[in-house]
Structure 1
């Protein structure tokens, strides 16, 4: 007797360790996008509205991806996990009205849009890694991570309660949250310092912090026998339409064309190593193989790193650690101003361009 076979599709079982790894990876990608949004916020003069703008972005992302009832459940769940005490718990919120309130609302909306635009840019990466379904809660968790440390848990819970109340009133939109007039202060660890027996000698005042910029680096090289020539052109742009252009040319011993382009990029990274750590640095070259050892993780990247270049790779890793570095393989185009500048430096040298 024949029987009909019934195929049962089993659900994929993900181990807790893999689940944690995916959640942390998605959150790390979102945090990086939020850091990158600071340039947009500075250019729009709304960097001071980062926190309420981020909260608005988190809520709007949840609304776009989930039913309102589910959003309320998520917010209620996160609110229950917050601490019930904070040093600024009794601090009131800003009380604005009239033109001040209108300006505040406009700035928060502008900041929220800038942050949303930065987050939109990472969606292809999340999709590529199969993490796009984690976007809404990752944005929320990123907001909670930053806001709890700044607003404090009591005021963050107030933001969640006010948002749920807005939903219950029948309005499926983010509520305008009024920040506390005082935020959490970072505690100084004076108790860990021993008192000075003798006064310290007078020191020079610290240099002012450098603002964030967008930095583009283009590098090129050419090989002649056992010697390589390299050059780079760096363009920096920042708030207030500030711009800088830097160029450099050099030589390196090289028999196979591998170390010269790497030297160029390492020297370029040295030239921008003093910039704000949050500055975005984009490294561009027309030679895609040069980037193989820089991108990726683990064995995928190490396969393109030769032992003879080990000192250069150590310098590269030290210069890129903790920085937002992006890599682009582009087509040759001398009408593009950085490529043209680099080409002229290669041909004439820096001094002859002045």
Structure 2
């Protein structure tokens, strides 16, 4: 081999690892960016699209926390902080403020949107695993997320988001921070001055017109245990549901249940309702829960998820506390208990609210049912 050939071969060997690394990162970013882009449709379907940007931030932070050690997360965030330079035309915009009364509903909606985006990212992670690029997954999610968020929030507020998250982790609170978006978004670049990436174009810059009270606490998980990104085995169906009930002055129960489910690359959302005569209101709750579980468990081997309601008494009935179940509902309760036993269904009792889209839809349907008695 000539000296010239030897030099060329040495150059190739010295450059190839870097070139391959850049190619691998570009490939990983493409897969993750498409996953974030694909979340637009399920977010719209679940009426969560107005939480897309903050949901992306939640999903990115959750991914880092679940896939990396806290020390490594801090290093990654510090490196990203140095990459975000300059200032935006919304630098002086104050953070959005939300009243204490509305805060928990806001947090719940952010978590729901974040979980929807996480579902899409899980598919990206599986593809990266198949291509042996999964070690790039967490940092690539952060990279793709910050590309989108910097265009909307601007560099100043994106740095603020990273600072708040870093401070939270340093204090030992290992959760995504409850970041408040700027009231004013960056002025969108004109087509002639910007080359927008696909994911950026897909993200809506929604109208931000909510009102006052800056929080210092963090987002609470819907479940007591953290959301885990890495899923080797999954149930056939994942569900989120809500049931509501009301009684008219004449003793007519109007009930409604909203169910959002996904599985085998199929997503659907349904709302069911009905009436039953019972002045106590108990029959309406039982009918609603029975219908809800029938929908959840239909045509599937197993399901996991959460059903939300707002009656503490009915929550006690679900738990099987003495005296909380009526004898004439015995057969319905047998079927309800069997469905709960054979599936991984949790229940959450929340205060009554109409700030959530699904709660408002159920309440509206109940109002219509009761107005026609």
Name the TM-score, length of structure 1 as normaliser.
Answer: 0.49
Mark the structure with the bigger radius of gyration.
1
